[in-house]
Structures are given as structure tokens and as C-alpha cells.
Amino acid sequence: MTSRAARAGRAAALLAAVGLLGGGCSLLLRTAASPAAPGSTTARLSVTAVPQPTAATVPLASLLPFPPARLQAAASLAGRFTAAWDSWSWQQAPAAWLAGLQPMAAASLEPALAQAAGDRGVLAQRTAARQVAVATVTGLAIADLTPGSVTVTATAAQVITSSSGTSRSSAAWAVTLTPEGPGWLVWDIEPAGAGNS
């Protein structure tokens, strides 16, 4: 490599580095045949600045599959559903607990909800201990986002009172919602560590 070609290569690398540091422009490097010495293998370097989109010119919201307000609505529904899911009373009929969840749930989730509401072993345990649970959602975060769904991690603090006293616990739930018209419906709820199936 000739010293002239080596200098051109170093200059190109320097200009590219400057372009990366500049943030607003990248450099487009082009080689063109040198007008001097026909048949020469030496190339001349020309540099053209090409403006690139920046964070200021490309709104983050335009990259999302749903507008921010609609994602906020999904997170809000995930929070309400989780609080209702994790709140129950030994005196409450299973159908009443289920009725509170159904308007927020997709039709495909209803059989699983009905099964959870009617679990005889769980109901017998709650009745024997006279348990009442109240859940409060303490945190919401979007865990996954696709053009057809959003999964929100909802962290709930649960207080259970019973004939033997009061206990407190916290759990994180993965709540997957699908768009339904202008709103959302809950498609699945599972412990956050398990993932959705």
C-alpha cells in the first residue's frame, strides 16, 4: 500500500469516527478515480455528509405498535384485573368473584377462570380458615409488546385476614392483553416467573 493510500485510509477512519461522535450526521464515504495518472490504482477519497434521523426527529411513540395512551389503558386494565383476581372472601360465592373478572377477560380465558373460581379444595380451605384477601397493585411494567398483544407485569400486595390472624404477601403476575376494538381484554394471567402459555 502506498503512503498516499494509507493516508487516505486513515483520513477516512478519522472522518467516520468524527461522524459517529457528531450524532446528527453520518459520513458517506465514496471513492472516485483519480484524475491524475490514467490507469493508476490510486483512488481519491471524497466525503459527503448525510443527515441521519435523531431521537429528536423520530418520536419514540411512532416506533410502538400502539399509541402510548392505549398502552396506558392496557396497563390500567392489567392492574384492575390483577387486584380483582387476587382479592376474594370465603363468604363470596364463586360466581360473584367470576362475575367481577368476566367483563375484563377474553372469551378464551373464561373456562380457566371458571375452573379457578370453583376449585373445591381451595374454597374449602378458605371457608375453614374464614379467609378474606384484599390485593393492591403496587407496580406495573410492560414486559412484552407485539402488534397483537401486550404483556404487563403487575406486582400485587395481598393482605389475608383469617381466624388465625393476618398475613401479607407480594406476587408478580404476567397479564397478557389483546386489543379488542378501541380497548383491551385480558387473554392470560400467570405468575410472572412462569411466563404465559
pLDDT given at position 73: 95
| 111 compared with 54, residue with greater pLDDT | 111
Distances, alpha carbon 129 to alpha carbons 26, 89, 95, in Å: 68, 11, 20
pLDDT at 52 over 70: no
Which residues pair with residue 48 across a beta bridge? 28
pLDDT given at position 62: 74
What domains are defined for the chain? 3-51 (no CATH), 60-191 (3.10.450.230)
Contact 169, 156 (CB under 8 A): no
The secondary structure of 136-174 as a DSSP string is EEEEEEEEEEETTEEEEEEEEEEEEEETTEEEEEEEEEE
Class of residue 122 by CB neighbours under 10 A (exposed 0-12, middle 13-18, buried 19+): middle
Contact 179, 66 (CB under 8 A): yes
- Report the alpha-carbon distance of residue 196 to residue 65 in Å, rounded: 20
- Give mean pLDDT, residues 109-121: 94
pLDDT given at position 43: 43
pLDDT at 173 over 50: yes
Contact 156, 168 (CB under 8 A): no
